[in-house]
Amino acid sequence: MPEIHQTKHGVTIAIKVVPNASKDQVAGFLDDRLKIRVSAPPESGKANKAVCTLLALVLDVPNKDVLVIAGHTNPMKTVVVNGISLGAVLRCLNTP
């Protein structure tokens, strides 16, 4: 079961980030985490920014509404997406 939870203001998502990938993409689930590949390197917050930009695009929310809240320097991260429901996230990610 994916680690995606409704919060008071939005949804938290546990992710695994693969930096320096050939392209930016949501690559499905790896165990209980959403696997995200980004072409940005893991330096100076570039990969974190790319993750937020990609998730905002996939979930159709403004970039400012996607934030890394845990794991800033780790490939295992938690992001929060404000202003969206759990159902909308699951639909956008094609999750049962």
Q: How far is it, in rounded angstroms, from Cα 42 to Cα 57?
A: 20
Residue 95 in this model has a pLDDT that exceeds 90: no
pLDDT mean across residues, the chain: 95
Pair of tokens at residue 53: 């930009």
Q: Is the pLDDT of residue 16 over 80?
A: yes
Q: Is the pLDDT of residue 3 over 90?
A: yes
**63 Rama sector, left if φ>0, alpha if ψ -120 to 50, beta otherwise:** alpha
| CATH number for the domain harbouring residue 9 | 3.30.1200.10
43-47, 64-68, 91-95, range with the lowest pLDDT: 91-95
CB count in 10 Å sphere of residue 13: 23
Q: How many domains does the chain have?
A: 1
Per-residue pLDDT tens for 28-55? 999 999 999 999 999 999 999 999 999 9
Greater pLDDT, 1 or 32? 32
1: pLDDT strictly greater than 90: no
Domain that holds residue 23: 4-92
Query: At 12, which amino acid appears?
Result: T
Tokens of 61: 């929310």
Angle (CA) 1-70-65 rounded to 5° is: 85
Alpha-carbon gap, residue 17 to 33, rounded angstroms: 10
pTM for the model stands at: 0.94
